[in-house]
Amino acid sequence: MRALLLAALAVELIDSVTATSKPPPGPKPIPPLPQFQFSPVHGDDMVLQQQPAAAAVYGYTGLGGTAVSVTISDASNGGGSYTVKAALNTTHQPFGKGWGSKTHNPWNESLSMWKAMLKPTKAGGDYSITATCVGCAGNTTASLKRATFGDVWHCRYITCARAASAALAAADARAPLLLRK
C-alpha cells in the first residue's frame, strides 16, 4: 500500500512539473545589419569636445556606401556652416587577426563604418550635424539636432562626480590643476 501511494504521488508531481514548465527558448533572431546612421553614442542634445581638440562623429554606412560627407550648421551665431569628408572603415573593430574566434556582434563580420573629424570649435553653439552617404542602400542622410561644444570628460573606473569633486578640492587647496577651464 505504501509503495502504491508513493507511486501515485510521484506521478502527480511529474504531471504538475511538466504542465507548468515551458520549453527552453530558441536562439534570438539575428537583427538586420544597421542602415546608414550615426553611432548610438551620438544623439540629439549632445556635447562634443571643444577646441583645441577636434571632435569626431562616426557611424555605420550600411550596405553599399562609397563616400560620406558631414555638414555642421550653427543656428546660434548667424548660421555659419562647413562640410567635411568622412573616412571609411578606419575605426577599430573586434574582428580579424588577433581577436580569435569570438566576435562581438550578431552578424559575425565587420561593419562598414565612417568617421569624420570636425574642425576645432569654441565652446557653445546650437549646431545641426547632417551626414550624407553616397551609394548607401536605404537611408542616405542622418541628422543630429541641438549639439553644442564644451569640455567632455570620459571617466573610467571612477565616477565623473568623484572626478569633479577631486577637481574642486584641488582648486580649493590652490594645488596645480591639470584640467582646462
Of the two residues 75 and 47, the one the predictor is more confident about is: 47
Whole-number pLDDT of residue 178: 46
> What percentage of the chain exceeds 90 in pLDDT?
31
What is the mean pLDDT of the segment spanning 117-136? 92
Mapping DSSP onto H, E and C, the string for the chain reads CHHHHHHHHHHHHHHHHHHHCCCCCCCCCCCCCCCCEECCCCCCCCEEECCCCCCEEEEECCCCCCEEEEEEEECCCCCCEEEEECEECCCCCCCCCCCCCCCCCCCCCCCCEEEEECCCCCCEEEEEEEEEEECCCCCCEEEEEEEEEECCCCCCCCCHHHHHHHHHHHHHCCCCCCCCC
Domains of the chain: 37-150 (2.60.40.380), 153-181 (no CATH)
Instruction: Tell me: pLDDT of 115 over 60.
Output: yes
